[in-house]
Structures are given as structure tokens and as C-alpha cells.
Amino acid sequence: MFGEGKRWVRWLRQRGLLRRGRSMRIEGRLLVLSFDYERGFAGEDLHAADEGLARALELLRDCGARATFNCVAKISLVAPQRIAEILAAGHEVACHGYEHESPRDLPDEALDRMLANCVEAFGQIGHRPRGFRSPRSHWDRRLLQRLAPHGFAYSAEHDAAPAPYALSFGDASLWRMPIATDDWDDVRHPGQSERVSRDHLNRLHRRFARHTYLALGYHPWLLAGNPHRVERLKAMIRQAMASGVRMCAFDDLLGEDTTFLRASRSAEEQTA
């Protein structure tokens, strides 16, 4: 999954279809936790998804940490109270597709319709997401080209880059928020949850020994009925914060104004 995204970036850049701009300047060390809340649209148990969301919100509250929740847009229509809970707790709600469909598998017209449906669904509850994370990180160049016109400021995908960076794609510009890894090994290898948690902690130490940014991905339903997994995640957050790492959501990195992306792109073209 991660290698596939890296190959896409290389392919696009080699053909001049995508230009990578400057990396985001980050002061101090920042850790972003990115939760994919799908509430049954990815096939997971509905009860586990809701219980896991409650556990995630509780542990973040206990740690005093803010995070990003990538939510399937249709949840805004079928269970708007869940989105309201996340927002009321002070977290970011980003978009994770309309019904957890794979963007790269959609024809052009369906891709545009999916993005429009996402914006409309969130609009029903008065929310405007600034970020988009593709289900299974199945993105392609057509998605990147369409995100900014639909009002999205960043794309969060599996990416090995050490910091967020600006992307120029055709006439559109946006930020790429790299996510280093996630908890999907918990699904691939049941019973090895402790090893996955240990890998995340080791990755955190290695990354902050040289860089200032790390984003890790999680699925709330994996926290349901597993207090040990919850406690390990809480311990990692507290250990990071005790060492001076700041917790934030992706939208905290954007600030209030992202129009400088266009200026950045113009400057890059003038110096190319």
C-alpha cells in the first residue's frame, strides 16, 4: 500500500504531471494521529466502530490531545450525531470518501460526483472538511487534480516523506500530509497487536531523532473491546508529550489561510 503510493508520486513527477514544492516549515516536533472512522461502510462491525470511536475520544481527552478523524461523508446523513461528537470534542473531521469507495476505481464523472456528494453531505450538518484521505489510500492523479476545485486544502495519504509538502498538479495546488504507517497489521496478523504498538513507538523515536513531523494512522473499531490496545496507544501519546512532542490535527498545520499555495506555485514556475 505504502510502496504503491510512492510509485504513483514518482511516475507523475517523471512525466511533469506533478510538481513537488517546498516542505512545510515546522517548529518543534509534531505528532498527528489520524483515525479512519468508517462506521460499517468498510465492512467492519457497526457496534465495534461506535464503541471504538468512544474509546478513541476518551483516550484523547485523557491525554489532552487533538487528532484528525477521517470520516465517511455519508455518516453525516445516517448518524450525524457521531460527527457532532467528534467536532464537539475539538477534533478535526476530514473526508474519507462518500461511501468508502476507491477514488482511483471511479470513472471521471463518478469521481466528480463522489467529491460533490461528500461536500454536500457534510454541508447538511454545517461542516466543511479541509482534508481528504482516500479509502485504502487508493488515490491517483485525477483525484489530486479535483481536490482543490472542490475546496479541499490537503491530501493525507500513505507517504514516506518526512514532512508535509506542497503539490502543484495542473492548475491546482494543495498540501500532501504524509502518513508514515497505520494499524492495519493488527488486521493482517491477529494476536500481534503488541508488536504493532511497539513498532509505532520505535518509529516515533527514530523519526524524531532526525525530523520534526510524524503522522500515524488508526482505525477506531480496532480499539473496541481491547483495553490493552487502548492503554498502549495512550502510553505512547503520553510518552511523546512528556518528551516535548506536540500533538495536533492536520488542519492545525494549515493555519487560517492556504492561499499562499498559489503564490508558492507561481514562484516555483518562475524559477523553473
Residue 18 clears pLDDT 80, i.e. is over it: no
Query: From CA 142, how far away is CA 234, in angstroms rounded?
Result: 38
**Residue 272 falls inside a structural domain:** no
**Residue 50 falls inside a structural domain:** yes
Per-residue pLDDT tens over the stretch 180-226: 999 988 777 777 788 889 999 999 999 999 999 999 999 999 999 88
* pLDDT band, very low/low/confident/very high, at 20 (cuts 50, 70, 90): low
Indicate the range of 34-48, 76-90, 187-201 predicted with least confidence. 187-201
**Residue 27 falls inside a structural domain:** yes
**Residue 141 falls inside a structural domain:** yes
pTM for this entry: 0.87
Residue 270 clears pLDDT 50, i.e. is over it: no
**Residue 169 falls inside a structural domain:** yes
Instruction: Show the domain range for 59.
Output: 2-266
* pLDDT band, very low/low/confident/very high, at 21 (cuts 50, 70, 90): low
- Please report the sign of the dihedral spanned by the C-alpha atoms of residue 66, residue 71, residue 77, residue 81: negative
User: For residue 42, what are the CA distances in angstroms to 30, 37, 172, 199?
Assistant: 29, 9, 30, 25
More confident residue, 188 or 4: 188
Instruction: Say what the pLDDT of residue 173 is.
Output: 82
Query: From CA 66, how far away is CA 68, in angstroms rounded?
Result: 7
Q: Are strands 92-95 and 68-71 parallel, antiparallel or unpaired?
A: parallel
Instruction: Say what the pLDDT of residue 225 is.
Output: 86
Query: From CA 62, how far away is CA 234, in angstroms rounded?
Result: 8
Identity at 261, one-letter amino acid code = L
- Proportion of the chain above pLDDT 70, given as a percent: 85
**Residues 111-139, mean pLDDT to the nearest whole number:** 97
Coil/strand/helix, residue 91? coil
Instruction: Say what the pLDDT of residue 269 is.
Output: 38
**Residue 245 falls inside a structural domain:** yes
**Residue 271 falls inside a structural domain:** no
Query: From CA 179, how far away is CA 58, in angstroms rounded?
Result: 23
Instruction: Say what the pLDDT of residue 141 is.
Output: 86
Of 10, 17, 38, 8, the residue nearest 217 (C-alpha) = 38
Question: Is 232 in contact with 197 (CB distance < 8 Å)?
Answer: yes
How many domains, in total, are found in the chain?
1
Residue 232 clears pLDDT 70, i.e. is over it: yes
**Residue 226 falls inside a structural domain:** yes
DSSP class per residue in 198-264:
HHHHHHHHHHHHH-SEEEEEE-GGGGTT-HHHHHHHHHHHHHHHHTTPEEE-GGGGT-S--THHHHH
Instruction: Say what the pLDDT of residue 168 is.
Output: 80
Per-residue pLDDT tens over the stretch 133-167: 999 999 998 999 999 999 999 999 999 999 999 88
Instruction: Say what the pLDDT of residue 10 is.
Output: 64
**Paired strand residues for 165:** 23, 176
Question: What are the residues whose beta carbons fall under 8 Å from the beta carbon of 16, sequence distance 6 or more?
Answer: none
Query: In CATH, what number is assigned to the domain containing residue 61?
Result: 3.20.20.370
Mean of the per-residue pLDDT values of the chain: 87
Q: Are strands 68-71 and 19-23 parallel, antiparallel or unpaired?
A: unpaired
More confident residue, 22 or 108: 108
